A and B are shown apart, each in its own frame.
Chain A
Amino acid sequence: MDYLTIVFVTASALRLAVPLIFAAMGGLYAEKSGVIDIGLEGKMLFGAFAAGACATAFGSSAAGLAGAIAAGILLALAQAFASIHLRGNQLVIGIAINIIASGLTAFLGIAWYQRGGQTPQLDTHERFLPIILPGADAISNVPIIGPLYAQIISGQTVFVYGAFLLAIITWLVIYRTRFGLRLQACGDKPEAVETAGVSVFVTRYIAFTINGALCGIGGAYFALVQGGAFYKDMTAGQGYMALAAVIFGNWRPGRVLAACLLFAFADAAQGRMQGAMIGDFAIPTQLIQALPYVLTLLLLAGIVGRAEGPLEAGRPYIKGER
């Protein structure tokens, strides 16, 4: 790979990382609060559909984004109610959320727009376009720095910058605020939180509200940036990939961000690696696509590092019980 190829792959990796980062950070809030979230995929898909539908209906990209956030929060609160108040099995509920979102978006899409589950193609003012930073054209011919600035730093949508900002904010919230400490305590020792006079339920509901909003934004990215419309099942497993990133990042914001970037880079490189050879052996693209899952499984198996998730994740909290 020459320098220019690396620049292009990196630029496309950043674009592919956006939904992963939003969903993974969303998942992080839920899991830190002690609720396992398998439902990232479903909330993103629901967000993507709402984004496509609202952007078309109101003719604006902002309405699309707002709709996606609302849809994500709605579904997250339904999931939270079943997981927290009704003390259901969090894994089963997450799976249900994914299946419902997959069926509901396709059903409503087909019924409302009658084009096989696709929403109408969005005009440019209904989408988010890349931002060209000042001077990008001027210096694009300068060697080394030119392409770096023009392709990677400039020419990205607001979502790309937002995703990195989100990772920083998430780190600050979790490790440097009172809410973050309570959140972590909810995941590790909920009785202690309750003893300190803070409601575990409320903390978990707040975590899920944030989670739903972030998943919604991640979903909106699919419809408002990548696809220019909503397509049936358009998140295509990226929510599960985000879940893998949360685990591979060992439930720490910085590492989760790194995991998202790594997975996105593998995805971006995979297209370019078609027919790449090691000696006489052609590397199958499927091998590169499998990389995120294999790495995550190796971590879970304890072969690379050790998974250190929240201690109480998955267990419903019952007031007054210890």
Chain B
Amino acid sequence: MRNHASGTIAAIVATLINIAAAFLIGALLIVAVGENPLKAFGVVWTGAFGSLKGFSFTLYYATNFIFTGLAVAVAAHAREYNIGGEGQANVSGLGVFLVGAMLPFLPWPVAIVLGIVAGMTFGAAWAFVPAYMSARRGSNLVVTTIMFNFLASLLMIYLIVNFLRPTTSMIPASGALADNLSLPRMDRFLLTLGINIHENPLNITFLVALLVCVAVTFLIWHTRWGYELRAVGENRDAAAYAGVHVPRVVIQAICLSGALAGMVGLNEVFGVQHRLILDFALGYGFTGVAVALIGNNHPLGIIPAAILFGALYQGGASMAFMFPKISREVVVVLQGLVILFAGGFVAVLRPYLTEQFDHFFTRKVA
């Protein structure tokens, strides 16, 4: 008898082994440059979770990673790898910025709704061509989205430098948006309660991210479309025989993926920067890959995975500050290792673990 739970448990155990292995290699690297890894990781921990301020920064980073992680996960359910989260987020920033620039009088509750619509639309639009090429022409989505990341960056340089930058400024960024557009921030809210956590980018978008997680869970596991999506991911031929219009579902999935990555634009433009900055989403798309792989493409896994990487980003900065020989880049190495192990060992490790757990459970039942 095949036990359904053993698959899930195997996935979780495999993920934990993966994270442990990545941290072990990270620790060896820290030893190699002559520092104590336990102390270093201790500083990461206190930097990320030790204070309300640090924890807020962790959640701010996690907000972006939840969006890019969900983006990768939705496409992954159709067995497609959207590496273009970075480009889609960059372009979505333009959409959010345009809403703010054209409608500067909006109060934030309206601005956030229009910002979500604009960010998602621009993100989905930037994903459409790769999506179409993947579904209709069989082009490799990884390759096309990498190209679209470069194109997004070039497009944004062109637009920002030539049109959006104030004439007096040399920095590649637009002018500031109206103050009334700024989303409510945690530091200001806590200040009204008498708690001072200093300047802090964590804003209401984090709650939006949690709501989006609920929405994505509902969509993938409780709707007809979600069923079609998972059917396409499991077996395209079978899905097609069952009457699913496979190319349509694939295109929709990748565009939804782009739309989710586009939510990063809301967090950054309306929530934090209040302007459009060049390459504000640098590296977020790749972190999204790591988050989705660790989170097993499920929102319940993606939230802790996003917080893990948020903590590494935030705590990594504290660590680099405390230990001059250790730089924040060790976090990038960990991220790469996690992706390597999840991508490389999953084909071997997970079936093996599933089998082991199966044996274990069946013996108990018998």
Q: Which residues of A come within 8 Å of B, CB atoms?
A: 36, 38, 82-83, 86-89, 91-93, 95-104, 106-108, 110-112, 114, 117, 237, 240, 243-244, 247, 284, 286-287, 289-290, 293-294, 296-297, 300-302, 307, 314, 316
In the complex with contacts A110-B327, A243-B143, A88-B29 CB distance below 8 A: no
For the complex formed, measure the closest distance between the CB of A93 and the CB atoms of chain B, giving whole angstroms.
Answer: 5
**Given A100-B336, A103-B335: A290 and B154 within 8 A (CB)?**
yes
Partner pick for B329 among A92, A103, A240, CB 8 A cutoff: A103
Bound-state CA distance A82–B342 (Å) is 10
CA distance A301 to B330 in the complex (A): 38
Interface string of B37-75 (1 = CB under 8 A from A): 000000000000000000000000000000000000000
| Contacts A86-B344, A110-B325, A290-B154 supplied; 17 other A-B pairs, CB < 8 Å | A87-B348, A88-B343, A88-B347, A89-B81, A89-B347, A93-B343, A93-B344, A95-B142, A95-B343, A102-B329, A110-B329, A112-B33, A243-B146, A293-B150, A297-B144, A300-B137, A301-B133
Given contacts A95-B339, A111-B325, A284-B162, contact A290 B345 (CB under 8 A): no
- Complex CA gap A294/B137 in Å reads 16
Q: What size tier do the contact residues of chain B reach? A: 35 or more
B121: min CB distance to chain A, Å? 22
Instruction: Given the known inter-chain contacts A111-B33, A240-B146, A289-B154, please indicate yes or no for A89 contacting B335, CB distance below 8 A.
Output: no
| Interface secondary structure of B, over-half rule | helix
Binary CB contact string for chain B from 311 to 333 against chain A (1 if under 8 A, 0 otherwise): 00000000000001111011111
Complexed CA–CA distance, A301 and B130 (Å): 9
In the complex, 8 of the A-B residue pairs with CB atoms within 8 angstroms, ordered by the A residue number, are A88-B343, A89-B347, A91-B140, A92-B343, A95-B289, A104-B329, A107-B327, A243-B143
- Which residues of A sit under 8 angstroms from B329, Cβ to Cβ? 102-104, 106-107, 110, 117
A92-B339, A97-B340, A111-B325 known; A294 vs B151 contact (CB < 8 Å) = yes
Q: Is the CB of B140 within 8 A of A88?
A: no
Contact A86 B146 (CB under 8 A): no
User: Which B residues are in CB contact (< 8 Å) with A36?
Assistant: 140
Whether B286 pairs with A87 at a CB distance below 8 angstroms is no
In the complex formed, the residue of A with least CB distance to B330 is A107
Q: Which of B131-157 contact A (CB under 8 A)?
A: 133, 137, 139-140, 142-144, 146-148, 150-151, 154-155, 157
Chain A residue contacts of B147, Cβ below 8 A: 240, 244, 293, 296-297
- In the bound complex, do residue A86 and residue B348 qualify as a contact, i.e. CB atoms below 8 Å apart? yes
A38 contact set on B, CB distance < 8 A = 142-143, 146
Q: How far is the CB of A241 from chain B (nearest CB, A)?
A: 9
Q: Determine the residue in chain A with the shortest Cβ distance to B149.
A: A240
Mask for B326-364, Cβ within 8 A of A = 1, else 0? 110111111111011011111110000000000000000
In the bound complex, CA of A247 to CA of B150 (Å):
16
CB <8 Å contact, A92 and B293: yes
A12 to B69, CA, bound (A): 41
Does A91 contact B347, Cβ atoms closer than 8 Å?
no
* Cα(A237)–Cα(B146), bound, Å: 10
Q: How far is the CA of A100 from the CA of B336 in the complex (A)?
A: 5
Give min CB distance, B208 to chain A, whole Å. Answer: 28
Let me know if B154 and A247 touch, CB within 8 A.
Answer: no
Provide the bound-state CA to CA distance between A296 and B147, in Å. Answer: 9
Cβ contacts B155-166/A at 8 Å (1 or 0 each): 101100010000
Q: Are A307 and B336 in contact (CB under 8 A)?
A: no
Residue of B nearest to A288 (CB): B154
Q: Tell me which of B327, B330, B339 contacts A96 (CB under 8 A).
A: B339
Measured CB to CB, the nearest residue on chain A to B159 is A286
Bound: A160/B139 CA distance, A: 33
B140 touches A314 (CB 8 A): yes
Distance in Å: Cβ of B156 to nearest Cβ of chain A: 9
**Are A300 and B139 also in contact (CB < 8 A) when A92-B81, A103-B329, A286-B158 are?**
yes
B83 at the interface (CB under 8 A from A): yes
Whether the Cβ atoms of A100 and B162 lie closer than 8 Å is no
Contact residues in B for A316 (Cβ distance below 8 Å): 347
Cβ–Cβ < 8 Å partners of B142 in chain A: 38, 91, 95
Inter-chain contacts of A294 with B (CB < 8 A): 151
Report which residue of A86, A107, A240 has the largest number of chain B beta carbons within 10 angstroms of its beta carbon.
A107
Tell me which residues from 73 to 89 in chain B have a Cβ below 8 Å from any Cβ of chain A. 81, 83
Partner of B344, one of A96, A101, A300: A96
* A300–B143 CB distance below 8 A: yes
Give B290's nearest chain A residue, CB to CB.
A99
B158 (CB) vs chain A CBs: closest residue:
A286
Contacts of A240 in B (CB 8 A): 146-147, 150
CB distance from A82 to the nearest CB of B (A): 3
Known contacts A86-B345, A106-B329, A300-B133; is A96 also within 8 Å of B340 by CB?
A: yes
Q: Residue of A at shortest CB range from B132?
A: A301
CB closest chain-A residue, reference B349: A86
Contacts A300-B143, A301-B133, A301-B139 given: A102-B332 contact, CB under 8 Å?
A: yes
Q: How far is the CA of A146 from the CA of B144 in the complex (A)?
A: 43
Q: Compute how far the CA of A284 lies from the CA of B330 in the bound complex, rounded to whole angstroms.
A: 37
Using Cβ atoms and an 8 Å threshold, which residues of chain B touch A293? 147-148, 150-151
Chain A residues within 8 Å of B33, by CB: 107-108, 111-112
- B144: A residues at CB distance < 8 A: 297, 300
